[in-house]
Amino acid sequence: MDAWVVHDPGPMAGRPLRRVSRAVPRPGPRDLLLRVEACGVCRTDLHLAEGDLKPRRPQCAPGHEVVGRVVGLGAQALGFALGDRAGIAWLAWTCGECEYCVRGDENLCPRSRYTGWDVDGGYAPYATVDADYAYRLPKQPPAEELAPLLCAGIIGYRALKRAELPPDGRLGIYGFGASAHLTAQLAIDAGATVHVLTRSAEARRLALDLGAASAAGAYDAPPEPLDAAILFAPVGDLVPVALAALDRGGTLAIAGIHLSDIPSLDYDRHLFQERSIRSVTANTREDGRELLAAAESARPRIAVTRYALAQADRALTDLAADRVTGVAVLVP
């Protein structure tokens, strides 16, 4: 099979991805082998390709929003049968023994492994996953609409929980890409008033179309104080901007795995009156199950830009240049 790998991390202009020929992987004892139907293109893939995240495994295939059909099973792989639809997400394995795993915080496991970083992901026609970390998916929605839920959806959902938005609260969303446009719809469905702050005029139009109460530039002030905010853009300069927009007792959740440097904060303006900053680190499998249930109920509208698998490098280049509105998805 032909698969894309991160060959030489660096700016997309230098073509850090390379298409290589590989054998179809064989499932291990606990693994599923999936024939990939769709793979979402995540900003984390871009961070890996460009070297913002240090490679953990040479020549690793990116892609951790994978929808596929089970075409192979290890002898100890439980819970799935041949032909089932399954999903692969970012979290690929945890030890199950450390203090974090034992207390339910497996996303903080020091030995955790990740799809597309430690193990090959879905920028290929076939991929494997430990059955215990695979998600059972509904049969009906198109694969390209399910794929973004498996990271953009899950991370946005966890960020929304970390932001501790009160019922019917006022939520600010900074940046409006794949994860943000899903999270905004979940929050609106739950009764929140959502204000979107993003530099892209097209993204602002999409935000209003999806039900946001307002949409303005990334550095603009929202029309009212915020009870909570989520920063999706990997831009540290926006941290003080978002904090200044919070009402007393508000919380800012930073959703990205990578963030540029945060400038100095003014204690009185940005943190006093019990404003809080919280990071978001990966997700638990329970987050994933909760998100999929919430999405089945809320049925968010997913703005998909499709690319053929052979165009994976173009998809990442477009993402780097902010030419993708909504989500980019690779299809066979």
- Look at residues 210, 250, 249, 213 and name the one whose alpha carbon lies nearest to residue 230: 250
- Look at residues 3, 119, 4 and name the one whose alpha carbon lies nearest to residue 56: 119
pLDDT tens per residue across span 203-244: 999 999 999 999 999 999 999 999 999 999 999 999 999 999
How far is the C-alpha of 179 from the C-alpha of 194, rounded, in Å?
14
Q: pTM here?
A: 0.94
- Average pLDDT value for the chain: 96
How far is the C-alpha of 226 from the C-alpha of 251, rounded, in Å?
9
- Look at residues 173, 311, 328 and name the one whose alpha carbon lies nearest to residue 242: 173
pLDDT at 139: 85
206 with 304: CB under 8 angstroms? Answer: no
225 with 182: CB under 8 angstroms? Answer: no
Task: Scan for tokens 């990334």, then name that residue.
Answer: 218
- Look at residues 57, 37, 39, 38 and name the one whose alpha carbon lies nearest to residue 48: 57
What are the two backbone dihedrals, phi and then psi, of residue 306, each rounded to the nearest 5 degrees? -90, 140
160 band by pLDDT with thresholds 50, 70 and 90: very high
pLDDT tens per residue across span 73-132: 999 999 999 999 999 999 999 999 999 999 999 999 999 999 999 999 999 999 999 999
pLDDT at 312: 98
Q: Residue 324, CB half-sphere, CA atoms under 13 Å: how many?
A: 28
Residues 6+ apart with CB under 8 A from 126: 1, 24, 25, 33, 34, 35, 36, 68, 71
pLDDT at 121: 98
pLDDT tens per residue across span 127-145: 999 999 999 999 889 999 9
Mean pLDDT of 277-295: 96
Identify each DSSP E strand in the chain by its residue range: 2-6, 17-21, 31-41, 66-73, 85-88, 91-93, 113-114, 126-130, 135-136, 170-174, 193-197, 214-216, 226-231, 246-254, 276-279, 304-308, 327-331
- Helix (H/G/I), strand (E/B), else coil: 50: helix
5 with 17: CB under 8 angstroms? Answer: yes
